[in-house]
Amino acid sequence: MKHERAMERRQFLKGTLGVASLVALAGCDNLSQSSWFPSILSKTEKLTERVQRAITPTNALAKEYGDADISKVFPANGNTDPGTEIYAEHVAKNFSEWMVEVGGLVQTPMSWSLAALKELPARTQITRHDCVEGWSAIGKWTGVPLGDLIRRVTPLPNAKFAVFHCADVDEEGVSYYESMALVDCYHPQTILAYEMNDNPLDIPHGAPLRLRFERQLGYKHAKYVRQIELVETLAGIAGGKGGYWEDQGYEWYAGI
Amino acid sequence: MALLIHEGVGTSQGQENEQVSELAMRSEPLPLEEPSASDDLTASQGDTQDARSASAPVAERVYRHRLPVRISHWLNVPILIILIMSGLQIFNAHPALYWGDRSDRDQSLLSIRPVKAENGEIRGITTILGHQFDTTGVLGYSNGSRHAFPAWATVPSAKFLAMGRQWHLFFAWLLVINGLFFTAYALISRHVTRDLAPTGKDLRGIGKAVKDHLVFRHPTGEEARRYNVLQKLAYVGVLFVVAPLIILTGLTMSPTIDTAFPWLLTIFGGRQAARTIHFIACFTFVGFIVIHVVEVILTGFFNNIRSMVTGWFVVKHEHEGANHEA
């Protein structure tokens, strides 16, 4: 009798646990596809941003490594070649006519050729690139501190974000773009890089110009940058979430 | 222990109860009425012992877990399950682990990948420190898809890194908040020092405790009032070693946090090392949960569940009763 009851209990337990786990898993999937639940989950992003900004000194530098630490293979994710005709022409001309324009909510919009950018004071840094997927690679980057360019164009008081328009498009023709808070543009390690590991930036890694945004995840480091636009709000630009990956559900604040 | 217990029955309602241990805080011989929420700490261990020698009750109810501990415990159940399963979803985006700061593909400590065999068949291959294992069906390749961890183990079940991250980071915050709440409570109420920290006597008895556990002999009677030494070590280890470790290594993976607290990279040996430790800590949690649930079932499932739901735990005194007779 006692044994039977124990058996029943065990059956009951097994059944309950099995059903509970299936329901829970299906429940999580349903919640993921609902419209309301992910919006609750994504509240975390604002909290994380507030807390991280509060505890991180504005100009705290990402760790800089030595030459010996540089990755032999630095993976290239996302688009590894914009593949457009216009881009191919730039490649053929060795990017001699590539211009980057800084405009939007600024007093004096300006454009720089690659050669002109290389005339400006440069910064070289050996830093770690952390991909949202989980991998890390270390590379040496040389470029112009973005803050130097932004100061020259003088942002208007209502400018809050810098949007980076890129030359690459995905298979469906959607243009790649990214954005960052204006305050992060002035971080000393935020640079528009034109050299990687002492060589001109190659095509897979974003030739001729890419962003280095060392305190955030890899997808924020826009490649093939052709235009920087200062804006007050990200709404109304493409999917409105502030970036190509953000429009697909990734966090805009990619500090973790 | 005796000085922690309020003497007599006339303890006033508003009395400070911080002095009372979480376990064995209240105990009364069965049968007894349900205590009300504001029930004060009237019975004492001394009283019950007296009562027992007089009437030798077979079973006794002990107020084992106080409300904050119960709440924190049950919150942890969904939080940990979701963190583990969404963590596996995130792992699947790059199913390999490394040491140091870089993830050099040829230097992985562990990898779980689908590999096409010569006959064109896809096999799931798990490589640990250079040793390859065919784990088709579970790891690397399962149900016709190339997942490191299978769909049934991840949240969401399909490959969806962005959503997995959202679940993970949301529940990570809940874990931190719940952890801070529990830690503050456990320190202030002295739950840590009275119930969780192993005593010298506990530690000297560790050999016997291990042997007893291996043959599934569990403490009964007076001994069952307190956590045994292995329980204490497991709880202290999970609460104050593994949980902080998993949170800190999680934070070390944040490039922003690394600029605010560069020493994190130093103590864990790099960002990829932190990711590896995070993964090991996760499976330490999984191991803890499995053993915990098995022990809960083996040592009286309904009694254990009731004590974590209502607080009340039944202790049986079969042997003591017999001794009294003798």
pLDDT averaged per 10 residues in sequence order, chain A, 256 residues: 62 70 80 89 94 96 98 94 95 97 98 98 98 98 98 98 95 92 98 98 97 98 97 96 96 97
Instruction: Determine the residue of chain B that is closest to A252 in CA distance.
Output: B162
Contacts A–B by Cβ distance under 8 A: 131
Interface check for B131 against chain A (CB to CB < 8 A): the answer is: no
Domain of A234, in residue numbers = 63-248
Tell me whether strands B110-116 and B96-97 are parallel, antiparallel or unpaired: antiparallel
Q: Are A218 and A132 in contact (CB under 8 A)?
A: yes
Residue A29 lies in a domain: no
Interface check for B157 against chain A (CB to CB < 8 A): the answer is: yes
Q: Can you give the CATH number for the domain in which A181 is found?
A: 3.90.420.10
Chain B residues in contact with A255 (beta carbon < 8 A): 254-257
pLDDT at position B43 is 38
CA distances from B234 to A153, B29, B222, B287, B326 (A): 60, 30, 21, 11, 37
Chain B residues in contact with A44 (beta carbon < 8 A): 166, 169-170, 173
Identify the CA nearest to A147 among candidates A212, A226, A53, A223: A212
- The domains located in chain B, with CATH, are 2-66+316-325 (no CATH), 67-94+160-313 (1.20.950.20), 96-148 (no CATH)
Which H or E run contains B36? none
Least Cα separation, residue A173 to chain B (angstroms): 22
Residue A193 lies in a domain: yes
Count of positions (residues) in chain A: 256
B157 vs A214: CB contact, 8 Å cut-off? no
The answer for A 74-103 residues in CB contact with B (under 8 A) is none
Interface check for A7 against chain B (CB to CB < 8 A): the answer is: no
A43 vs B170: CB contact, 8 Å cut-off? yes
Distance CA B125, CA B141 (A): 8
A215 vs B259: CB contact, 8 Å cut-off? yes
Q: Mutate which of A11, A22, A23, A32 to disrupt the B interface (most B C-beta within 10 Å)?
A: A32
The number of domains in chain A is: 1
Q: What string of pLDDT tens digits covers the 326 residues of chain B? A: 333 333 333 333 333 343 445 554 455 555 444 444 333 333 334 444 444 444 556 888 999 999 999 999 999 999 999 999 999 999 999 999 999 999 999 999 999 999 998 899 999 999 999 999 999 999 999 999 999 999 999 999 999 999 999 999 999 999 999 999 999 999 999 999 999 999 999 999 999 999 999 998 888 888 888 899 999 999 999 999 999 999 999 999 999 999 999 999 999 999 999 999 999 999 999 999 999 999 999 999 999 999 999 999 999 886 544 444 33
Residue A116 lies in a domain: yes
Task: Give the tokens for residue B179.
Answer: 């952890």
Least Cα separation, residue B8 to chain A (angstroms): 40
Distance CA A247, CA A105 (A): 23
Q: Which residues contact A190 (CB under 8 A, 6 or more apart)?
A: A145, A146, A147, A180, A184, A211, A212, A213, A214
Please state the ipTM of this predicted complex: 0.91
List the alpha helices (DSSP H) in chain B: 45-55, 67-92, 161-188, 191, 200-204, 206-214, 229-237, 243-252, 255-260, 263-268, 271-298, 301-309, 318-325
